[in-house]
């Protein structure tokens, strides 16, 4: 059984257009795993899914109804049972737990030769249900972690802070109960489930979404340049430093284009109104983003690499950026494997000064050097496709069976 967040693309396109904090990467990661597992066709899966959305009123719907989705993957048709819940505060946790438990038992009880329950993410309702199901049927409880457990937010109310602390304690306890762990970084697995069998898999991508890059400009040195950032506009992801670093450049012949949503959105809109070199384009579809990434001169991602939580992170956009064939400037977080050093342009840190200095350097690269960097990264990223990565998952699931 697979407890996850897989809702069909067409439906999620509608959701993303309404959600101020669209969970695009959760959606992509779930489907890339499912596509790989179904392509290899080793196990039969029962899919229970919940709609990945922000709390009401950030997402405008308070009551989410159940749905049964029939999705065609190649020649195979799979069934996704979407569970209902109340999208508000503590009710969200309670109703997700009750719905997940009910539909899991209802759908999985009829399955013969039960092998295990896979639980995607550090989501308390799912983790509890996964543990219960594993105990009832005496099967493996396999955890997939792409993030650490809930962290407290400085601006949270006292009540919310207390609830977060309780959630953190429960999450840590449940994480230790996993039989096997699939995690983005070794620190996630080792710190939260020490001694448990683990598979470290930093990313999984669908190479069919992106083709080889279009022809770049032919001039040897860029007279004008275009830097692109796509993704979350949360302050903690370094987006403000990217903007300030770009504006601090001595060379004023470039444009910084930014796409996404987050808490820096309002300030970014004001900056773009005051400076026509910074273009804030809002939230656009994934199809459009891929084309935008391919046409850029450079892509950038500059998270802080000295905060404690980043050792649990592998930014999902890293592989997507690399797949575009456009050179990527990025900080090298502790959770990013060493092998990536060969395929990206490394920022020493995410300070505006370091960003400005590196940008001044790379815009002098010849078109040949830029294309070679991009193509080399693209070739490497393609090895992380969902078939190759899912083969690792299948082999890992077979252990001790």
Euclidean distance between CA atoms 293 and 274, whole angstroms: 25
Minimal CA–CA distance to 234: which of 163, 323, 153? 153
Q: Which domains does the chain have, with CATH numbers?
A: 2-204+385-398 (3.40.50.2000), 207-382 (3.40.50.2000)
Euclidean distance between CA atoms 316 and 25, whole angstroms: 7
Residue with tokens 């009710």: 91
Half-sphere exposure of 348 (CA within 13 A, CB side): 8
Mean pLDDT, residues 171-184 taken together: 97
With contact defined as beta carbons under 8 Å apart, do 290 and 214 qualify? no
Say what the pLDDT of residue 306 is: 83
Say what the pLDDT of residue 153 is: 44
91: tokens are 């009710």
Say what the pLDDT of residue 157 is: 54
Q: Give me the residues paired with residue 205 across strands.
A: 385
Euclidean distance between CA atoms 153 and 162, whole angstroms: 11
Helix H, strand E, coil C: the string for the chain is CEEECCCCHHHHHHHHHHCCCCCHHHHHHHHHHHHHHHHHCCCCCCEEECCCCCCCCCCCCCEECCEEEEEEECCEEEEEEECCEECCHHHHHHHHHHHHHHHHHHHHCCCCCCCEEEEECCCHHHHHHHHHHHHHHCCEEEEEECCCCCCCCCCCCHHHHHHHHHHHHHHHHHHCCCCEEEECCHHHHHHHCCCCCEEECCCCECHHHCCCCCCCCCCCCCCCEEEEEECCCCHHHCHHHHHHHHHCCCCCCEEEEEECCCCCHHHHHHHHHHCCCEEECCCCCHHHHHHHHHHCCEEEECCCCCCHHHHHCCCCHHHHHHHCCCCEEEECCCCCCHHHHHCCEEECCCCHHHHHHHHHHHCCCCHHHHHHHHHHHHHHHHCCEHHHHHHHHHHHHHCCC
Q: Is it the case that residue 43 has pLDDT exceeding 60?
A: yes
With contact defined as beta carbons under 8 Å apart, do 393 and 341 qualify? no
Beta strand extents in 253-375 (DSSP E only)? 254-259, 278-280, 298-301, 328-331, 345-347
Say what the pLDDT of residue 221 is: 55
Q: For 51-97, what is each residue's pLDDT tens digit?
A: 999 999 999 999 999 999 999 998 999 999 999 999 998 999 999 99
Q: Is it the case that residue 319 has pLDDT exceeding 90?
A: yes
Cα dihedral across residues 48, 230, 371, 336: positive or negative: negative
Mean pLDDT, residues 141-166 taken together: 75
User: What does DSSP say about strands 85-86 and 63-64: parallel, antiparallel, or unpaired?
Assistant: antiparallel
Say what the pLDDT of residue 216 is: 52
Mean pLDDT, residues 36-50 taken together: 97
Q: For 222-281, what is each residue's pLDDT tens digit?
A: 668 999 999 999 998 999 999 999 999 999 999 999 999 999 999 999 999 999 999 999
Say what the pLDDT of residue 154 is: 44
pTM attached to this predicted model: 0.92
Say what the pLDDT of residue 291 is: 92
Asked if omega into 57 is within 30° of 0 (cis), the reply is: yes
Euclidean distance between CA atoms 307 and 35, whole angstroms: 34
Cα dihedral across residues 22, 24, 25, 28: positive or negative: positive
Average per-residue pLDDT for the chain: 92
Say what the pLDDT of residue 211 is: 57
Euclidean distance between CA atoms 30 and 7, whole angstroms: 9
Q: Range with the lowest mean pLDDT among 11-15, 158-162, 245-249, 387-391? A: 158-162
Between residues 362 and 159, the one the model is more confident about:
362
Q: For 343-355, what is each residue's pLDDT tens digit?
A: 999 999 999 999 9
Band of residue 151 on the pLDDT scale cut at 50, 70, 90: low
Minimal CA–CA distance to 262: which of 28, 23, 87? 23
């Amino acid at each position: 059984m697979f407890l996850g967040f897989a809702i069909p693309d067409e439906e999620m396109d509608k959701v993303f257009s309404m959600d101020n904090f669209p969970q695009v990467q959760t959606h992509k990661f779930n489907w890339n795993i499912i596509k790989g597992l179904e392509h290899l066709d080793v196990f039969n899966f029962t899919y229970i899914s919940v709609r990945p959305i922000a709390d009401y009123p950030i997402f405008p719907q308070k009551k989410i109804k159940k749905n049964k989705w029939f999705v065609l993957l190649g020649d195979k048709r799979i069934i996704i049972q979407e569970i209902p819940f109340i999208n508000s505060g503590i009710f969200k946790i309670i109703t997700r737990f009750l719905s997940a438990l009910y539909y899991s038992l209802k759908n999985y009880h009829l399955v013969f030769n039960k092998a295990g329950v896979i639980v995607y993410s550090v989501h308390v309702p799912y983790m509890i249900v996964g543990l219960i199901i594993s105990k009832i049927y005496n099967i493996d409880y396999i955890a997939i972690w792409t993030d650490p457990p809930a962290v407290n937010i400085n601006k949270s109310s006292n009540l919310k802070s207390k609830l977060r602390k309780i959630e953190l304690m429960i999450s840590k306890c449940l994480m230790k109960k996993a039989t096997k762990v699939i995690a983005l970084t070794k620190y996630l697995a080792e710190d939260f489930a020490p001694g448990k069998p683990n598979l470290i898999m930093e990313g999984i991508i669908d190479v069919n979404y992106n083709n080889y890059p279009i022809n770049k400009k032919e001039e040897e040195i860029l007279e004008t340049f275009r830097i692109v950032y796509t993704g979350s506009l949360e302050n903690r992801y370094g987006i403000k430093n990217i903007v300030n670093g770009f504006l601090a450049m001595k060379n004023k012949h470039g444009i910084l284009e930014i796409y996404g949503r987050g808490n820096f959105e309002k300030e970014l809109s004001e900056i773009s109104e005051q400076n026509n070199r910074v273009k804030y384009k809002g939230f656009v579809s994934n199809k459009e983003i891929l084309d935008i990434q391919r046409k850029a001169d450079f892509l950038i991602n500059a998270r802080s690499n000295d905060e404690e939580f980043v050792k649990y992170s592998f930014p999902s956009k890293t592989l997507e950026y690399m797949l575009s064939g456009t050179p990527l400037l990025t900080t090298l977080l502790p959770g990013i494997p060493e092998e990536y050093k060969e395929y990206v342009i490394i920022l020493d840190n995410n300070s505006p000064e370091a960003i400005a200095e590196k940008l001044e350097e790379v815009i002098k690269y010849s078109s040949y050097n830029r294309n070679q960097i991009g193509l080399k990264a693209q070739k490497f990223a393609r090895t992380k496709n969902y078939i190759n990565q899912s083969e690792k998952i299948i082999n890992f699931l077979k252990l001790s069976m």
